[in-house]
Structure 1
Amino acid sequence: MAVPTETEPAGALAETSDVDDFVIRTYEHIAANPGMALAGCAERLSARRTDVERAVDRLRHLGLVTGDRPVAVSPDTARMALLLPLEQIIRDRSRQLADCLRWSRPFEDAFDRARRGAGPAVTRLGLDETEALLTEAARRCTAELVMMQSCVAQEPPAARCARPLVLDTARRGVPVRLLYPHSGRGDTVTRSYLHEVTASSGQVRTCDDIFDRFVVFDSSTAFILTSGDEAGCAAAVIHEPIVIRFLLRIHDHVWQSATRFTLRQSGYGNALGVLKSSILDLLAAGLTDDVIARRVGMSERTLRRHIAAIMRDMSVGSRFQAGVAAASAGLLGSGTPAHDHF
């Protein structure tokens, strides 16, 4: 496809950076003294003739003077003469863009159908492949993006690749729904990111239990993001509709009972009580700190601070005593179930 290369108007505009105070003074003098010879202009401006010639050449190029004995042209007229060709170029480029999108769309659809039909329903990916396919899926996403994710501090490399793509998708106006653990409200980096997504019209909710990390684009392509394994698998890409519908049902189920994240809230907001109940449930189940930390989506160090605060609030001296006191007070069972998803 031939692409025209009109450059003259754009070149004239680019050279406006060469306009200095002397060029403006020269234009003002010509406007006040139309038809004056350049020698006279130089004398009146107390300048060298070569400097005046340079200034007049620049003004001619911008369409601000005309004639051998320069006469000023109004800025409105000069601006119109420069912009009209540019507007035509923009219209031509817009038509070319529309044509390109129109003829390429059927091929993209055919490629997707062939890939889904000929390839496996689930494909394991390395990190580089994951980043490339995530970028492509985000670029083409137009209907909705849904994601379930852990805090930034715990995210695997594949999830780190997805984070800016999710934000860009929200900024394009595509509906975005993100699920994060309640602990994300207390993590500075995660909270800052969730603020950006919310400010870009994305929806964010937090819950007490993140089953796994996954993202679904347009209900047609899903990525399950892993922490990596010995084979170097960073993610699995899924095109099988049954599996994708299952992931979307999980997301919708958790979404209904999750707590909305808003720009106005500070800290954990009203999610702190649920988070503490979840920690108590998992403590009472006898799970280790590393398992509990993964379940509630925080580092072990942060978890231990929460456990210390819970013990202090309950006036007990050990984790066992905290579990007994919570059971006696009927506080257990209100948080997350004790089975381990990881």
Structure 2
Amino acid sequence: MFEALGFNDVAESVYLAMLEHPQAGVEDLMQNLGMEEHQIRQALDDLARMSLLRISGSAPEVFVPVNPRTGLAALLARQQAELAKRQQELEESRASLTALLDVYAGSRVHTSATGVDWIEGIDTIRARLRELAETCTWEAASFVYGGAQSEASMAASRPLDRDAIDRGVRLRTIYLDSVRNDPATCSYAQWLCDLGSEVRTTSVLPMRMLIVDRRIAVVPVDMEKTSAAAVEVTCPGLLTGLVALFSFAWKSAVPFGARRRRDGDGQTAQEKQVLRLLGLGHTDEMVSRRLGVSVRTVRRTVSALQERLEAKSRFQVGARAVALGWIDPDDLG
């Protein structure tokens, strides 16, 4: 009946049952509907995300249904607004793509004139990165996205990094915190530090990036397919923004070898990022890619947070984290 509003059969059955018996708990719903506990709790999470349930004022661990006249109307209005927003974004993306194709339809001379040059294909990207590493004169700053690094990648970088350090180039590298759990990447980072390079880690990185002498930056076009294509940025305005982004991340990152401290609430930065990314609607798989950790680690972290917060569901984890000030509502968009 409510498929068009995003309901599945289980969520619909649970919602209708709760409307008929507003005080029904999980065990009551399991018995009345003949469903497993995990099905009921997943349905409650789904309904809460759609703002069709609210936490009872008298019992924080109990959900009660929102009046369907207002709840379903508000849900429909949100979906209509989201549809309009997506349509606008689609039109804007189409216009931007048309403009971009017009720019890149000509020769590479035209792309260079804009200060943004297209590099396509893994071999071409690697060759350009090698050229930049060999001609760097005083500083190379990089975001190393993706957690643990492959042996092949580190083997290819080792002679370039050693040569740059021998020439007096300042190497500043930011890895994800998760590399501290990978012996091979840790060994490489320690090797860099022993040579005089500067290495730090942070809980989350926005992209993979290399900035050479603050005059050239290279970033991938697609973070999910970093080897497909990249852009080389020399436009002063864009470069200033990328350098500022690196500086901001560098100041908040922790020097390699130092233990990352927990804050006053006993959380690590990684736990805060897990809360924030889940609050933004990311799946466990998406969170694992952003933080460079396994899906199993993400689920273990969520389970530990759920236990600390005495929460019955993921929705309650987020709600209580916001209520306790563990995460800022503004970070959730």
TM-score by length of 2: 0.55
| Equivalent in the alignment of 1:302 | 297
2:143 and 2:209 in contact (8 A); partners too:
yes
- Of the three residues 318, 325, 328, the one matched with 1:330 is 325
Q: Which moved more, 1:182-191 or 1:242-251?
A: 182-191
| Equivalent in the alignment of 1:291 | 286
Give the CA RMSD over aligned residues.
Answer: 3.6
1:116 and 1:239 in contact (8 A); partners too:
no
- What CA distance in whole angstroms lies between the structure 2 residues aligned with 1:303 and 1:167? 35
| Equivalent in the alignment of 1:182 | 177
Larger radius of gyration: 1
Percent of residue pairs bearing the same amino acid type: 29
| 1:80-99 alignment runs, 5 A limit | none
1:224 and 1:237 in contact (8 A); partners too:
yes
| Equivalent in the alignment of 1:280 | 275
| Equivalent in the alignment of 2:207 | 212
| Equivalent in the alignment of 1:321 | 316
Q: Which moved more, 1:224-233 or 1:308-317?
A: 224-233
| 1:126-141 alignment runs, 5 A limit | 126-141=121-136
SS in 1 for 2:287: helix
2:147 and 2:291 in contact (8 A); partners too:
no
1:125 and 1:237 in contact (8 A); partners too:
no
- What CA distance in whole angstroms lies between the structure 2 residues aligned with 1:115 and 1:132? 21
| Equivalent in the alignment of 1:147 | 142
- What CA distance in whole angstroms lies between the structure 1 residues aligned with 2:200 and 2:117? 28
2:145 and 2:175 in contact (8 A); partners too:
yes
2:111 and 2:117 in contact (8 A); partners too:
no
- Of the three residues 177, 195, 201, the one matched with 1:200 is 195
TM-score by length of 1: 0.54
- CA gap of 1:136–1:254, structure 2 versus 1, over 3 A, is same
Q: Which amino acid aligns with 1:121?
A: V
Superposed CA offset, 1:136-193 (max 9, x none): 11111121000112244478x9898557634542354311111222333333333222
- CA gap of 1:230–1:297, structure 2 versus 1, over 3 A, is closer
The reply on whether 1:238 has 2:233 as its aligned counterpart is: yes
- CA gap of 1:189–1:307, structure 2 versus 1, over 3 A, is farther
| Equivalent in the alignment of 1:249 | 244
C-alpha displacement at 1:328, in angstroms? Answer: 3.1
1:159 and 1:225 in contact (8 A); partners too:
no
Gaps of 5+ in 1: 1-113
2:117 and 2:231 in contact (8 A); partners too:
yes
Gaps of 5+ in 2: 1-108
| Equivalent in the alignment of 2:96 | none
- What CA distance in whole angstroms lies between the structure 2 residues aligned with 1:164 and 1:329? 49
- CA gap of 1:164–1:294, structure 2 versus 1, over 3 A, is farther
| 1:105-120 alignment runs, 5 A limit | none
